[in-house]
Amino acid sequence: MITKPKGTYDLYGDEIRKWQYVSRVVDEVMERYNYGLIRTPIFESSELFHRGVGDTTDIVTKETYDFVDRGERNMTLRPEGTAGVVRSFIENKMYGDAIQPIKLYYNGTMYRYERPQSGRDRELTQFGVEVLGCADPAMDAEVISVAVNIFKLLGLKGIKVKLNSLGDAESRNNYREALVKYFEPHIDELCEDCKERLTKNPLRILDCKVDKDSELFKNAPSILDYLNEESKNRFADVQNYLDVLDIDYEVDSRIVRGLDYYSHTVFEIEATVKDFGANNVLAAGGRYDSLVGNLGGPDTPGIGFACGIGRLVMALDKEDIVLPVNDELDAFILYVNDTEKEYALALTQDLRLNGLKVETEYMGRNLKGQFKQADRLKAKYLVILNDEDLVGGEIQVKDNHTKEVTMVKEAEIDDYLDLNCR
């Protein structure tokens, strides 16, 4: 038997209905915030992710699915959404659009070759937002509020934003020097990855999963002590706007995020989720003002976040949050003979085109079996066809909850079901 690859999943039935509901909530919130949907390719040039995400990140060095296509081109299955959106922004010259900033969101599949574990798969679905062309600290607050409000609408509690600033280039350079000076005498105490990071990208040391709880790491210099005045003032403005939006947050100087392109604001958003352990992070992101320029476009500020839908649905399940997923059928049409079957098929199509969720019999079941099938499908109404009723221009409709039977005129069946099922 052929089975699915390790770290991937099949979604169907009740589980996929939860994902669909979450995606609908995301779509509704994005529409209120005036974000437009964007779809980018699942695979792109490997260079995009090496230049965009960064050669020193774990994603690029350890986790990308790379391949050479038949044209001898180096391609990569996308491991995250931002680089592809920025590439599209540049290629399609969105920076020239009259309406600025460009506010986009995506919802799609990403691929990372990592050890599968609870909440972390090799195939994952993420939604996220990207705002390009705006450096206003108020936009940082808006982007954070998008994720916070989605989680609130889904019923999660204890939502908190952990906030930090990486400052501008000058601030980060000063901080890098301080980190190198601090860690170099202790290089033998670092894991192999961090020894390499110390020379290539010292900030990434603080994102270490191996040694992050050691005293050495706890006593490391804080980025907040190395922010210049401009970066400090900008960070203060972001906090002020979060206060204006009544969003709960705390400053955490240890947040650096795992991607090379971040600057200024970085954040993680948590919720209180039982049995999730110490890592309750559901969404994360930050500002990336140099990324567009690094990928060949004009200098353009940007900010965004991403959230894994699988992990989000898992959090909802662990919190016993029952999503209002409608798995009921509006009507099931029953019949006995071939003449009634033809009428059932036509009526089924008519009702579907009128916006109702309708099913009829295709498996050759007798009338008793059809009643059972209608119950399995949670049909609200049973439309029971009978030649004699049809000759008289009427159709028998049964409320499957109250068991009340009503004879409805044939010409009024659409309006009757529409009125009662909406």
Half-sphere exposure in the Cβ direction for 164 (13 Å, CA)? 21
**Cis bond before residue 101 (omega within 30° of 0):** yes
What are the strands, taking DSSP E only, across 134-222? 160-165
Tell me how far apart the alpha carbons of residues 8 and 397 are, in angstroms, rounded to a whole number: 45
Tell me how far apart the alpha carbons of residues 347 and 334 are, in angstroms, rounded to a whole number: 11
Tell me how far apart the alpha carbons of residues 414 and 422 are, in angstroms, rounded to a whole number: 12
Q: Do the Cβ atoms of 307 and 147 come closer than 8 Å?
A: yes
Q: Do the Cβ atoms of 103 and 294 come closer than 8 Å?
A: no
Beta-bridge partners for 5: none
Q: Do the Cβ atoms of 247 and 160 come closer than 8 Å?
A: no
Tell me what pLDDT residue 275 has: 80
Tell me how far apart the alpha carbons of residues 172 and 11 are, in angstroms, rounded to a whole number: 43
Domain 329-421 matching CATH 3.40.50.300: the answer reads: no
Low pLDDT (below 50) residues in the chain: none
Give the residue extent of every domain in the chain: 13-168+228-318, 329-421
Tell me what pLDDT residue 326 has: 86
Tell me how far apart the alpha carbons of residues 23 and 218 are, in angstroms, rounded to a whole number: 38
Q: Do the Cβ atoms of 159 and 245 come closer than 8 Å?
A: no
Q: Do the Cβ atoms of 123 and 111 come closer than 8 Å?
A: yes
Among the residues of 296-366, which ranges form H helices?
309-318, 338-353
Question: Candidates 3.30.530.20, 3.30.930.10, 3.40.50.150, 3.30.1330.10; correct CATH number of 13-168+228-318?
Answer: 3.30.930.10
Q: Which two tokens stand for residue 158?
A: 């204890």
Half-sphere exposure in the Cβ direction for 105 (13 Å, CA)? 23
Q: Would strands 379-384 and 329-334 be described as parallel, antiparallel, or unpaired?
A: parallel
Cβ neighbourhood burial of 136 (10 Å; 0-12, 13-18, 19+): middle
Q: Could you tell me the sign of the dihedral formed by the alpha carbons of 369, 373, 378, 381, in that order?
A: negative
Q: Which residues have C-beta within 8 Å of that of residue 247, sequence separation ≥ 6?
A: 141, 144, 145, 148, 161
Tell me how far apart the alpha carbons of residues 111 and 64 are, in angstroms, rounded to a whole number: 7
Q: Which residues have C-beta within 8 Å of that of residue 52, sequence separation ≥ 6?
A: 82, 83, 86, 87, 261, 291, 294, 295
Q: Do the Cβ atoms of 344 and 300 come closer than 8 Å?
A: no
Tell me how far apart the alpha carbons of residues 67 and 260 are, in angstroms, rounded to a whole number: 23
Q: Could you tell me the sign of the dihedral formed by the alpha carbons of 11, 14, 16, 19, in that order?
A: negative
